[in-house]
């Protein structure tokens, strides 16, 4: 575990992590497509000195639009507007490596980094499920192994594009008419299995050296990708034992790649339902559940394991024989599935009990500000995370109570900053400015100007 204070991100999931949040009526029905809504949450999070806000995304309409708000604003467009309304907080955009091309995405994220003054990150995902694939001319989603094969090459190309301009490539000599040193602007001429990219990027290097690279996924393919390339990993562990094991494994994998393990930040997700007392927190949770009954909670379990909720007995254990091996699962996220199965197995939970222990696939904390601060401190001090991605049950109140009541408790314990000490997202995460791979290769050959 790092000796530094923990990192905290605010994951803005529409009206909140709970699927009943939109019916509670705290926010206007069109809030999820209103830039002002996101700006307000970002400003609130910035007042709490949080590292970043995080936007999930997927290039398809969810199947339950009849009962849930559907659709999302495109993250890089939305976060450009949010960045203009904030000063310090990082902005993390989720974009698919399966349904984008490296040059266009590298340019969009680098542009966001320039616009934000060095606060941008790309969260790379591969998108399981057929709905997205069918929007891009495919009959179904590529196999898991193929998605991650493409993702690895995609990330490799993107990093090369972000590094294609060296930090001092721009000379800016007006009198001599010399704008840039062409020896420090590198053509890629990349030829791979999935991509052919000439380069260089048509943007100078961004304020952080390059944007922060985040990876979300705990499958074997995700762990290989994240340990090799990522600056931060958003992960899904639901028990402390699993969190500790994942943390140790990823740090060891990073070291095996020749990386400094401290430069890979592990950030488990935590969904929160907070009340002034434990009874009030559970009453809030019950009120949200009442909007769709137990069915909504059971459906999230059913959806993860790929079995219709009507076929499950809520008071029975998971149908282990029907689930099969996680590595062979092609219907969704390996990481979410494994985290859910591990929790059920370790504590011998029924499906109903399991449904009340997770929210959007992540560990759920229902309790007081002190109890939420306690569980964050426990995981951090034990070495199960360098920080956490927070998913409040409902916006804006869930975010407000976290910032105004949980964050001060962490600050009093010396576990979280009381003010920003840097200007970039890398500064907030305690990461150095990214080295340029081309500068390192070319440095011995370069002659002084």
Residues belonging to the binding site for FMN are 57, 94, 144, 148, 218-219
Hey, what are 153's tokens?
């090459």
Query: Beta strand pairing status for 358-359 and 362-367?
Result: antiparallel
Contact 389, 335 (CB under 8 A): no
Residue positions in the annotated binding site? 57, 94, 144, 148, 218-219
Q: Quick one: 315 exposed, middle or buried, by C-beta within 10 A (0-12, 13-18, 19+)?
A: exposed
DSSP 273-297: EE-SSHHHHHHHHHHHHHTTHHHHH
Hey, what are 110's tokens?
């680098």
Enter the DSSP assignment of 371: H
Enter the DSSP assignment of 31: G
């Amino acid at each position: 575990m790092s000796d530094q204070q923990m990192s905290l991100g605010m994951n803005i999931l529409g009206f909140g992590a709970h699927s009943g949040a939109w019916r509670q009526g705290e926010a206007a029905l069109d809030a999820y497509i209103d830039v002002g809504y996101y700006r307000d949450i970002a400003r609130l999070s910035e007042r709490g000195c949080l590292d970043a806000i995080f936007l999930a995304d997927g290039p398809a309409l969810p199947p339950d639009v009849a009962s849930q708000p559907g659709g999302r604003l495109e993250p890089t467009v939305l976060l450009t507007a949010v960045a203009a309304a904030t000063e310090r907080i990082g902005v993390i955009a989720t974009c698919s490596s399966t349904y984008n091309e490296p040059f266009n995405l590298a340019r969009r994220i680098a542009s966001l980094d320039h616009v934000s003054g060095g606060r941008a990150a790309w969260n790379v995902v591969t998108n399981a499920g057929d709905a997205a694939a069918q929007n891009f001319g495919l009959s179904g989603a590529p196999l898991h192994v193929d998605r991650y094969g493409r993702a690895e090459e995609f990330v490799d190309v993107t990093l090369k594009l972000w590094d294609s301009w060296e930090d001092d490539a721009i000379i800016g000599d007006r009198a001599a008419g010399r704008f840039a040193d062409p020896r420090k602007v590198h053509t890629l001429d990349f030829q791979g299995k999935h991509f052919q990219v000439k380069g260089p990027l048509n943007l100078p290097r961004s304020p952080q050296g390059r944007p922060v690279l985040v990876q979300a996924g705990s499958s074997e393919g995700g762990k290989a990708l994240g340990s090799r390339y990522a600056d931060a990993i958003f992960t899904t562990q639901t028990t402390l034992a699993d969190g500790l094991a994942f943390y140790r494994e990823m740090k060891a994998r990073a070291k095996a790649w020749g990386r400094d393990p401290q430069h890979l930040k592990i950030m488990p997700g935590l969904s929160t339902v907070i009340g002034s007392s434990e009874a009030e927190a559970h009453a809030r949770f019950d009120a949200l559940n009442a909007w769709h009954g137990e069915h909504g909670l059971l459906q999230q379990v059913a959806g993860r394991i790929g079995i219709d909720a009507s076929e499950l007995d809520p008071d029975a254990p998971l149908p282990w024989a029907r689930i099969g091996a996680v590595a062979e699962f092609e219907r969704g996220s390996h990481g979410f599935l494994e985290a859910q199965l591990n929790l059920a197995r370790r504590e011998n939970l029924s499906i109903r009990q399991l449904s009340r222990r997770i929210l959007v696939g992540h560990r759920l904390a229902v309790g007081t500000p002190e109890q939420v601060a306690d569980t964050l401190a426990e995981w951090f001090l034990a070495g199960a995370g360098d920080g956490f991605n927070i998913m409040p049950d409902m916006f804006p109140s869930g975010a407000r109570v976290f910032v105004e009541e949980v964050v001060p408790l962490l600050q009093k314990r010396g576990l979280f900053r009381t003010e920003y000490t840097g200007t970039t997202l890398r500064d907030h995460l305690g990461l150095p400015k990214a080295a340029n791979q081309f500068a390192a290769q070319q440095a011995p050959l370069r002659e002084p100007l």
